[in-house]
Amino acid sequence: MTREWHSKSEEETAAAGREIARLLADDALVYLSGDLGAGKTLLVRAIATELGADPLEVASPSFSLVHEYPRQGRLPIIHVDGYRLSENRREWLEIGIDELIRGPGLKFIEWPKRNFDEFGQATVEIEVHVENDESRRIRLTKHGG
């Protein structure tokens, strides 16, 4: 399944995020890719908020690499930012990617840079691209059922 949204504002991106939230399983593994500054973290914030996380907790994990957002009575949301990591498998293992992917909860991996099939296949891919007029094209591809 593939869905696409075109956003001309942060509000429209957030609205797309709320729609996307309703399409995700509680244990989905989501790869997020796109241009730097395209709004990937804004999109994750909207999704996480719609799914019960505290919006004030959701931030770009660029400096800490991994954030966990608890949700009342539900599995956590894990948010990984691989921007500063290379394709080197060891770097990803050092942040515990195998345990994170196999563990409970909804997992978002920004800038995945490598295929994590050895740990579990992505169930959803989201691409966010800045268009010529500064609008965003958000494309969701859901794999499997």
Residue 140: pLDDT over 90: yes
Contacts of 45 (CB under 8 A, 6+ apart): 14, 17, 55, 58, 59
pLDDT in tens, 29-60: 999 999 888 999 899 999 999 999 988 787 66
The answer to whether the CB of 23 falls within 8 A of the CB of 142 is yes
The CATH number for 88's domain is 3.40.50.300
Task: Judge residue 74's burial from the number of C-beta atoms within 10 Å of its C-beta, 0-12 exposed, 13-18 middle, 19 or more buried.
Answer: middle
User: Residue 47 sits in which domain range?
Assistant: 2-142
Total domains present in the chain: 1
Q: Which residues pair with 142 in a beta bridge?
A: 124
What pLDDT is recorded for position 119? 66
pTM summary value: 0.86
* Terminal-to-terminal C-alpha distance of the chain: 9
Handedness of CA 92, 96, 99, 105 (dihedral sign): negative
pLDDT in tens, 58-73: 766 556 788 888 888 8
